[in-house]
Amino acid sequence: MTNTTPVTLIGGYLGAGKTTLVNHLLRNAGGRRLAVLVNEFGSLPIDADLIVAREDNLISISGGCICCSFGSDLVAALIDLKQRGNSIDHLLIETSGVALPGSIVQSLSLLPGVALDGVIVLADAETIEARARDRYMSDTVLGQLAHADIILLNKTDLVLQQRADTILNWLAATVPGARVLPVRNANTPLDVIIGQNHAPTSGKDSAHASDHRAGDYETLSLEIDSPCDAERLAQNLADPRLGLLRAKGFLRGLDGKLATIHVVGRRSQVEPAPTWVEGPGRLVCIGLAAEINRDAILAAFDVQRLQITV
């Protein structure tokens, strides 16, 4: 594993679609070497055609990915995974159906060498409201949703559009600020779940903006050579009114040094960029094509000062 490995938590109650999502990510890793930690292998059956070999509590998956079970000791499993020396680009942790992401986030904060990338929580469009009102499940389900940076509202194809709209409005009121993404069969672009594998490369000396639409998603790529307040910008990009699911890249701070900026849903983080990063600042923003607010994103950069042209 690298010095600091990004970690994405995947949560949600039983039947919400966590298994489907993880298998989808492994099938579409795109050259990324993923590690998946699960409570037990039986609770997350990896598709048989993906498995290359099994040994003890580890499954080797085609494409350089692996899957490990951690039982009840997540920290020990993370330490064991690092000691194995596996070269991993990103770590996925699938929580149990009754787990609260907040407690796992606290455990991760105690372990050096890993950094939380985001919390993804799945909800079943057919059952989420009933589960949230159930006398036995309510606290757990609402607690899971409350910690989500992005909520995947899964199985939207199994409800009428009017019903799906009602659920989306209910989630917006129940979990203010969280990004809600309607999906079918947990089919979600990898860059939405774990971000880009590599930072955007520079193409021109001057600041510029370009975008690319792929299906229901839109990507806005920016190159900014002017210094900016990276911390304030990251917080501005986490504003739900911008319609962003993710933003990631490198920006030059007011001190002249490059910083890594990372936004996932309502979570934002800024840290010193790796020493190998060079060139102008660049950022990639991803959102639903119907929701991403291009003008608001550009305004968050203080267009006049940064001289961004469209």
Summarize pLDDT for 33-87 with one digit per residue, the tens. 999 998 766 666 788 889 898 877 788 998 889 888 877 778 888 888 877 777 8
Tell me what pLDDT residue 195 has.
Answer: 77
Q: Which CB contacts under 8 angstroms, 24+ apart, belong to 199-204?
A: 199/248, 199/249, 199/250, 199/277, 199/282, 199/284, 200/249, 200/282, 200/283, 200/284, 201/279, 201/282, 202/279, 202/280, 202/282
CATH for 208-306?
3.30.1220.10
Q: Return the domain boundaries, the chain.
A: 5-194, 208-306
CATH for 5-194?
3.40.50.300
Reported as a single tens digit per residue, the pLDDT across 182-238 is: 999 999 999 999 876 544 433 333 344 444 444 688 999 888 878 888 898 999 999
